[in-house]
Amino acid sequence: MSDQPPRPGDETSADAPQTAPNTCPACGGTGAVQGKPCPTCEGTGEVTVTVGDA
């Protein structure tokens, strides 16, 4: 995928929660569990986690 629109100010959003991609703990980043698409990351192998004050 390389058709994402530009996102100005994405790094410093005062009100938006801080999120970061992380390797899916359920499938270890493979995107599949026991031959099936991982339900946790929906097959992407990555999950978005919220960081910061929570």
Least gap, CB of 42 to Zn ion (angstroms)? 8
Q: Which residues bind Zn ion (CB under 5 A)?
A: 24, 26-27, 38, 40-41
> How remote is the C-alpha of 42 from its chain's centroid?
10
Nearer to Zn ion, 7 or 27 (CB): 27
Question: Nearer to Zn ion by C-beta: 27 or 52?
Answer: 27
Spatial distance between the Cα atoms of 40 and 47, rounded to a whole number of angstroms: 8
Pick 1 or 33: Cβ nearer Zn ion: 33
